[in-house]
Chain A
Amino acid sequence: MSSPRFVRLEDVVADPLFPDADLALRRGRHVDADDLALYTFLTEARPYLEAFYERFGAELVHKPDGYFYLLPTSDKLGKRYLRPIEMLVGQAMALLYLDPRTVEHGGTVTRDDVLGQLASVLGTDDLVRAFFPGKKKIDERVAQEGVRARVNDAMKKLASLGFAATDREGRTKLGPALLRFAEPARLSEPSEAVLARLAAEGELLVTGDEHTFDDDDDHDHDALDDDGAADATSPTSDPPEATRAEHEAEPRADEDAPTEDPPVDHDLPGAPSDEP
């Protein structure tokens, strides 16, 4: 039997992979087996890191689906709430992750697949209405372009949080962490009870029925951090809106900080590029 890789917390912290793992976790990244080096490191260092992060008021979570993430359980560590549009896109991606048709492509999807999934569940008209509430008259072409652009942005943000990755061909490879979006649907008990329990565990925030997608900062990247998620320091009824002003006051991430390659955009045929 081989000797364990780590004997003390000091060994874990001294490991060359610790800084990358620590920064990724603190920035909200979900680490799965596709990121083999970090995943192996976290698996082996888990007993030490659980106690380590507990002192920061956070829980190192390892789900049976095969991914790690850091869950803040107090205010010592910053936390974010995913925006409504990211929640919708995340749930659509989770549905695709469970779809056998995705297996044909090795677990990869395009933006069109995500849009198709959203349209098939919500319906095209409801989808556009959900993204542009309160707008009585809206040009169909403009609305569809807006939906495409926002879905694209949301996919990029979710990829930066480790829910997905971009492969060599520019397709989005879905990760097991997407099953977090399916957590309230895991059990057959009433969803309200499940939501309440998960909210009590700090996994999610129940936002109520009020739901806005028409926040102007969806495309305002200055109002987002590098991870692309809205920041929040206190629970509110509408976290994305409530925390925008706070976030704008935060320092920007250093340009030298390591970042992932941006996912490549998949344009619809004939659709204008979303890239600036």
Chain B
Amino acid sequence: METETRAPKDVLLALARQKPALELGSTDVVFLAALHLRGSRSALASFDEPTLVDVFEEVMTFVDEGKSRRRATHAIRRLRDQRTLSRVDHAGVVRRGEFALTRLGTAIAEFFLDEDALTREALTLLMRTLLTSLGGIVAQGAALVHTPEAFRDAVEAPLRVTVRDLVSGIQRRQRGFDLQQEELRHEVGELLRADWFGAVERCQELLDATGRTLRELGEVILRDTHAAQGLLQDVQDLAASAGSEPSVDAARAVMEQVDRVAAWGTARQRAFSEYYQYVHRFLRDVVRLDPSRALTQRLRDQLGGAVGRKFSLVVAGEAPPWLLRDGPPPRDDGPPVKRPKKPREPELETTDEGPDPREVLEAAVTAALTEGVPTLSALTERTTRDTPAEARFVAAGRVAEIAGKLVRPLARAERAWIPTGDGYELEEWTLPRKGVAL
């Protein structure tokens, strides 16, 4: 109870400082279970040393042989070291000791003996006791609501001890029932493995029996937890009226426990229902339709051989339709900010150079030929008249080239070389007028 008032972190820290450990072998566990059974059957609250040795020797007949006397002493000391067995007489060495199982020892023994599985009888008994206790608390609380001390003794203490122990007892038995469920599943699997078709009836019986148990438990849990919650609500109201905050907290804690009990019932019902349906379908669709397990064998052969890799199943594969979505329009943030780029190289300056001198020369040659200049020398003299002296030699060559393209010079066996006025000579051609066919 004290741990609930402390923060979990503090509780765990304190536990860690104690360096708790538990080391029990199978002989130790069987010894604990044997002590638990001896105590419950002989109504013994504690055991003297001869009884302990006697029980241990009995255990050794199941698990081991030889030197039991010496090993009994070791086993008792080991159980005391593991805090599963404690001395309760405080007589020290004066006389032989009296020993009892601790809570831990009892819990371990009960866990392995699996006595705590929830049955309808156990649940009904616990629930009735719980409801009776709560009814008594409500009646006493109502009478003592104006005397805080007496109210706390009549309400808070029973809530923290009696009622919580009862609900914890239910929860412990629920865990036992969960273990039973696990074993049932294992048993169903084992039955089918051992006797495939022959196990159908037995599996059916197991499932039906468990289904009935769960249904009954569910009914009891549903009915009684509802009643318990109502009574706890009354206790909480009374505690609030009496101004007893600890009693309110204690009632709330028990309500949460009762809620967990109810949730467990619902969850197990659903889980078992799914399992029940699945196994029934398995028995119907697989076991009954394949009593000799021939399909399994053929499928194994198919997978292991060539056949299993020679075919591909066909499934529909319609492309999903495009779905147009309503979405926000894209934001218009304007053009991105840019820094003006500097050209890597300065642009070339363009200058107007006027008409092409070759074209001008060609036009002049054409015009002169059209007018009927008779010779190349006359043509050259006329068209290069305005050309500077240093460029006139090149210009004369170009005139001859253009003239050669435009007209065909008249053929002569010997062409005379005629000096020009600027210190050059040229081979004289006689030129026809342009456009005149020769």
The finding on whether chains A and B are genuine partners in a shared complex, rather than unrelated, reads: yes
Q: Footprint of B on A, CB under 8 Å?
A: 23, 25-28, 33, 58, 65-66, 69-72, 77-84, 87-88, 90-92, 94-95, 97-101, 103-107, 121-122, 130, 161, 176, 180-182, 184-186, 188, 191, 195, 198-199, 202-209, 211, 225-227, 229, 231-232, 239-240, 250-251, 253-254, 256-257
- From A80, which residue of chain B is reached at the shortest CB distance? B317
How many residues from B make CB contacts under 8 Å with A? 46
Residue among A82, A176, A185, A198 having the largest count of chain B Cβ atoms under 10 Å: A185
Query: In the complex, what residues of B have CB within 8 A of residue A250's CB?
Result: 319
Query: In the complex, what residues of A have CB within 8 A of residue B338's CB?
Result: none
Set A88, A98, A239, A254: member contacting B286, Cβ < 8 A:
A98
Q: Footprint of A on B, CB under 8 Å?
A: 185-186, 188-189, 192-193, 196, 274-275, 278-279, 281-282, 285-286, 290, 293-296, 298-304, 306-323, 325
Find out whether the CB atom of A203 lies under 8 angstroms from the CB atom of B313. yes
Find out whether the CB atom of B275 lies under 8 angstroms from the CB atom of A106. yes
Query: In the complex, what residues of A have CB within 8 A of residue B318's CB?
Result: 26-27, 77-78
Q: What does DSSP make chain B's interface, helix, strand, loop or mixed?
A: helix
Set A84, A99, A122, A225: member contacting B304, Cβ < 8 A:
A122
- A254 CB, min distance to chain B CBs, angstroms: 4
Find out whether the CB atom of B322 lies under 8 angstroms from the CB atom of A251. yes
- From B192, which residue of chain A is reached at the shortest CB distance? A100
- From A99, which residue of chain B is reached at the shortest CB distance? B296
Known: A70-B316, A204-B312. A101 touches B189 (CB 8 A): yes
- B347 CB, min distance to chain A CBs, angstroms: 47
Find out whether the CB atom of A91 lies under 8 angstroms from the CB atom of B285. no
Find out whether the CB atom of A106 lies under 8 angstroms from the CB atom of B185. yes
- A251 CB, min distance to chain B CBs, angstroms: 7
Q: Please list 7 pairs of residues, one from A and one from B, whose beta carbons are closer than 8 Å in the complex, sorted by A's number.
A: A78-B318, A78-B319, A98-B286, A103-B192, A207-B309, A231-B319, A257-B320
Query: In the complex, what residues of B have CB within 8 A of residue A130's CB?
Result: 309
Find out whether the CB atom of B316 lies under 8 angstroms from the CB atom of A203. no
Query: In the complex, what residues of A have CB within 8 A of residue B321's CB?
Result: 254
Residue among B275, B279, B296 having the largest count of chain A Cβ atoms under 10 Å: B296
Known: A101-B189, A256-B323, A257-B320. A185 touches B302 (CB 8 A): yes
- How far, in angstroms, from A211 to B312 measured CA to CA in the complex? 11
- How far, in angstroms, from A85 to B317 measured CA to CA in the complex? 18
